[in-house]
Amino acid sequence: MGLSPPEHPLISAINYEASNVPLTCKTQVSFVFDFYSIVLNRNFKGRTKYGQQASDFDGGVLFFMSPGQVFSVDIDPGATEQRSGYVLLIHPDFLWNTSLAKTIKKYEYFDYSVTEALHLSTKEEKKIINIIKSIQQEYHENIDKFSQDIIIAQLEVLLNYSERFYQRQFITRKKSNHTILDRLEDLLTDYFNGESLSKNGLPTVEYISEKLSISPSYLRGLLKTLTGQNTKQIIQDKLIEKAKERLSTTSLTVNEIAYEFGFEYPQSFQQTF
Residue boundaries of the structural domains of the chain: 11-172, 175-272
Beta bridge partners of 32: 70
Answer whether 0.75 is exceeded by the pTM.
no
The reply to whether CATH 1.10.10.60 applies to domain 175-272 is yes
CA 202 centroid distance within chain: 25
Stretch 194-205: mean pLDDT: 81
Q: What angle (nearest 5°) sits at the alpha carbon of residue 248, between those of residues 242 and 250?
A: 90
Least confident range of 64-78, 102-116, 140-154, 246-260:
64-78
Instruction: Indicate the helix (H) or strand (E) that contains 226.
Output: helix 216-227
User: Residue 164: what pLDDT?
Assistant: 92
Dihedral, CA of residue 161, residue 164, residue 166 and residue 167, to nearest 10: 180
Taking 3-state DSSP, the helix, strand and coil percentages for the chain, each rounded to the nearest 5, stand at 55, 15, 30
The span from the CA of 265 to the CA of 98, in Å, is 46
User: Residue 56: what pLDDT?
Assistant: 47
φ, ψ of residue 206 in degrees (nearest 5): -65, -40
The phi-psi region of residue 201 (left if phi > 0; otherwise alpha if psi is between -120 and 50; otherwise beta) is left
User: Residue 128: what pLDDT?
Assistant: 94
What is the CATH number that goes with domain 11-172?
Answer: 2.60.120.10
Stretch 78-103: mean pLDDT: 83
Q: What is the pLDDT of residues 98-151, one digit of tens each?
A: 999 989 988 888 877 666 778 888 899 999 999 999 999 999 887 888 999 999
Of 5, 6, 16, 11, nearest to 43 by C-alpha is: 16
Stretch 44-49: mean pLDDT: 61
Of 25, 27, 1, 26, nearest to 14 by C-alpha is: 1
Q: What is the pLDDT of residues 27-46, one digit of tens each?
A: 567 777 789 999 887 766 65
pLDDT at 80 exceeding the cut of 60: no
> What angle separates helix 122-140 from helix 147-172, to the nearest 10 degrees?
170
Please say whether the dihedral angle defined by the alpha carbons of residues 224, 226, 229 and 235, taken in this order, is positive or negative: negative
φ, ψ of residue 13 in degrees (nearest 5): -110, 125
117 neighbors 63 (Cβ within 8 angstroms): yes
User: Residue 54: what pLDDT?
Assistant: 57
Q: For residue 165, give the 3-state DSSP assignment.
A: helix
Least confident range of 19-33, 125-139, 194-208:
19-33
Least confident range of 31-40, 222-231, 264-273:
264-273
User: Residue 43: what pLDDT?
Assistant: 65
